Amino acid sequence: MRQPVSLAHACRLINHGPTVLVSSAHEGRRNVMAAAWSMPVEFTPPRVAVVIDKSTFTRELVLAGGRFALNIPCRAIADLTYTVGSTSGRDEDKFSRFAIGAFAGSALALPLIEGCVAWLECRHIPEPHSEMAYDTFFGEVVAAQADRRVFAGGRWAFDDGNAALHTLHHLGGGHFGVIGDVVQGHAG
Amino acid sequence: MRQPVSLAHACRLINHGPTVLVSSAHEGRRNVMAAAWSMPVEFTPPRVAVVIDKSTFTRELVLAGGRFALNIPCRAIADLTYTVGSTSGRDEDKFSRFAIGAFAGSALALPLIEGCVAWLECRHIPEPHSEMAYDTFFGEVVAAQADRRVFAGGRWAFDDGNAALHTLHHLGGGHFGVIGDVVQGHAG
């Protein structure tokens, strides 16, 4: 059900502010953490920003490996999302511990998370000051994929028939708002 | 229906990735624009990042005035949200043109937008490199308010009874996902 998403549409995958899972790898180690704080910063070339705290193992892997992936989880994996946001992978591999399925990204060989509905592989753009002062990491998207059941023709297609695949928006404490209706705004 | 939100809880107002309206003012000029791209970067002190394109009048006002507000719109004002995201305020005041109600912020005297459900007044933290390279502006929240019908006790309280007040999440082209259900994730 995965299909490639053109780089021109890649930023639409996170335009609406979903919680993401950041996956990373370097020299045989790998990790995945939840991050509520990410956003696009540019459509062309597609670039993103994500906040990665200094205490995290993910930060070590991103700095060492020079790459990270943003995986977009959905309602069906709310428990997994909260779990990987509540534990550290420094001492024990989370993929093994929680039986998390992963497949290799097509561009950067990053571990991408099964059960998500979109995936963005990003090259880290080193910005030491932003990383130190604001924990803010920038990256350029070099490949993207999405689940065609909920993202097609370059657009999210949330409807009642795919409710389990709707994106999660972290409110705090493991409570996630889920996208329900879609409304069309009309310009005055 | 507005009540102050403690600075300790301010970042929760945008933690779930809503589209925001950025309002600004300087020397008698004022503006409001929509921005899908914002995020918290730190809880304490509460700090945020927001992408403000080089072409915008808002950018001029933020750089000149040293402050901006993030206003969180809701389903009831989807049309207004799309409208202020589709027009420029450089040549004509959007508040007058579109009959947008505003009230003065308590901390920085910024124009805050009526009909929104939360408001964050921010001091701009100058970061010329991030602004130039990524259009990314940082700010520190110095005061916050929310509509108590939908944010109470430091938490969003989205339910069927306040559906018109649920936040908007821009999917592109004026289509907004609206938060529907709230699910509780359980940590494994």
Selected residues 109-128 of chain A with any CB under 8 Å from a CB in chain B: 127
Determine whether the interchain pair B176/A185 forms a contact, defined as Cβ–Cβ distance below 8 Å: yes
Are the CB atoms for A112 and A69 separated by under 8 Å? yes
Answer yes or no: is pLDDT of A156 > 90.
yes
- List, for residues A116-148, the tens digit of each pLDDT value: 999 999 999 999 999 999 999 999 999 999 999
Please identify which residue in the block is written with the tokens 């995945």: A32
Closest Cβ–Cβ partner in B41, B51, B98 for A37: B41
The token duo for B61 is: 């006002």
Determine whether the interchain pair A177/B181 forms a contact, defined as Cβ–Cβ distance below 8 Å: yes
The CA-CA-CA angle for residues B167, B169, B173, to 5°, reads 130
Stretch A59-66: mean pLDDT, rounded? 98
Answer yes or no: is pLDDT of A161 > 90.
yes
For residue B158, list chain A residues with Cβ-Cβ distance below 8 A.
Answer: 177
The token duo for B175 is: 């289509």
Instruction: Measure the CA–CA gap between B73 and B71, rounded to whole angstroms.
Output: 6
Residue A133: count other Cβ atoms within 10 Å of its Cβ: 16
Identify the bridge partners of residue A67 per DSSP, sorted by sequence position. Answer: A123
Determine whether the interchain pair B184/A129 forms a contact, defined as Cβ–Cβ distance below 8 Å: no
Selected residues 54-73 of chain A with any CB under 8 Å from a CB in chain B: none
Instruction: Measure the CA–CA gap between B179 and B181, rounded to whole angstroms.
Output: 7
Percent of chain A with pLDDT over 90: 97
Residue B19 burial class via C-beta count within 10 angstroms: exposed 0-12, middle 13-18, buried 19 and up: buried
Determine whether the interchain pair A176/B183 forms a contact, defined as Cβ–Cβ distance below 8 Å: yes
Quote the longest CA-to-CA distance of chain B.
55
Residue of A nearest to B137 (CA): A41
String of b and e for B101-126 (b: at least 16 CB within 10 Å)?
A: ebeebbbbebbbbebbbbbbbbebbe
Residue B26: count other Cβ atoms within 10 Å of its Cβ: 15
Closest Cβ–Cβ partner in B134, B181, B186 for A178: B181
How far from chain centre, in Å, is Cα A35?
A: 8
Residue of B nearest to A18 (CA): B17
B45: preceding bond cis by omega (within 30 degrees): yes
For residue A178, list chain B residues with Cβ-Cβ distance below 8 A.
Answer: 179-183
Would you place residue A159 in the very low, low, confident or very high pLDDT band (cuts 50, 70, 90)? very high
Answer yes or no: is pLDDT of A4 > 90.
yes
Answer yes or no: is pLDDT of A188 > 90.
no
Note the pLDDT of residue A120. Answer: 98
Stretch B47-72: mean pLDDT, rounded? 98
The token duo for B69 is: 């507000």
Interchain contact A91–B (C-beta under 8 A): no
The CA-CA-CA angle for residues B133, A43, A51, to 5°, reads 60
Instruction: Measure the CA–CA gap between B163 and B117, rounded to whole angstroms.
Output: 12
Closest Cβ–Cβ partner in B136, B155, B171 for A182: B171
For residue A17, list chain B residues with Cβ-Cβ distance below 8 A.
Answer: 16-19, 36, 39, 169
Rounded to whole angstroms, what are the CA distances from A135 to A63, A127, B47?
12, 10, 11
Determine whether the interchain pair A172/B38 forms a contact, defined as Cβ–Cβ distance below 8 Å: no
How far from chain centre, in Å, is Cα A164?
A: 17
Q: Please count the residues of chain B.
A: 188
ipTM of the complex: 0.97
Instruction: Measure the CA–CA gap between A137 and A42, rounded to whole angstroms.
Output: 14
Q: HSE (CB half, 13 Å, CA atoms) of A101?
A: 5
Task: Write the CB contacts of A160 (distance below 8 Å, at least 6 apart in sequence).
Answer: none
Interchain contact B74–A (C-beta under 8 A): no
- Of A51, A30, A57, A21, the C-alpha closest to A132 is A51
Determine whether the interchain pair A16/B138 forms a contact, defined as Cβ–Cβ distance below 8 Å: no
Determine whether the interchain pair A186/B79 forms a contact, defined as Cβ–Cβ distance below 8 Å: yes
Interchain contact B42–A (C-beta under 8 A): yes
Determine whether the interchain pair B178/A174 forms a contact, defined as Cβ–Cβ distance below 8 Å: no
Residue of B nearest to A171 (CA): B16
- List, for residues B19-30, the tens digit of each pLDDT value: 999 999 999 999
Note the pLDDT of residue B188. Answer: 80
What's the alpha-carbon Rg for chain B, to the nearest Å?
A: 16
Answer yes or no: is pLDDT of A18 > 90.
yes
Would you place residue A35 in the very low, low, confident or very high pLDDT band (cuts 50, 70, 90)? very high
- Averaged pLDDT of chain B: 97
- List, for residues B147-176, the tens digit of each pLDDT value: 999 999 999 999 999 999 999 999 999 999
- List, for residues B79-118, the tens digit of each pLDDT value: 999 999 999 999 999 999 999 999 999 999 999 999 999 9
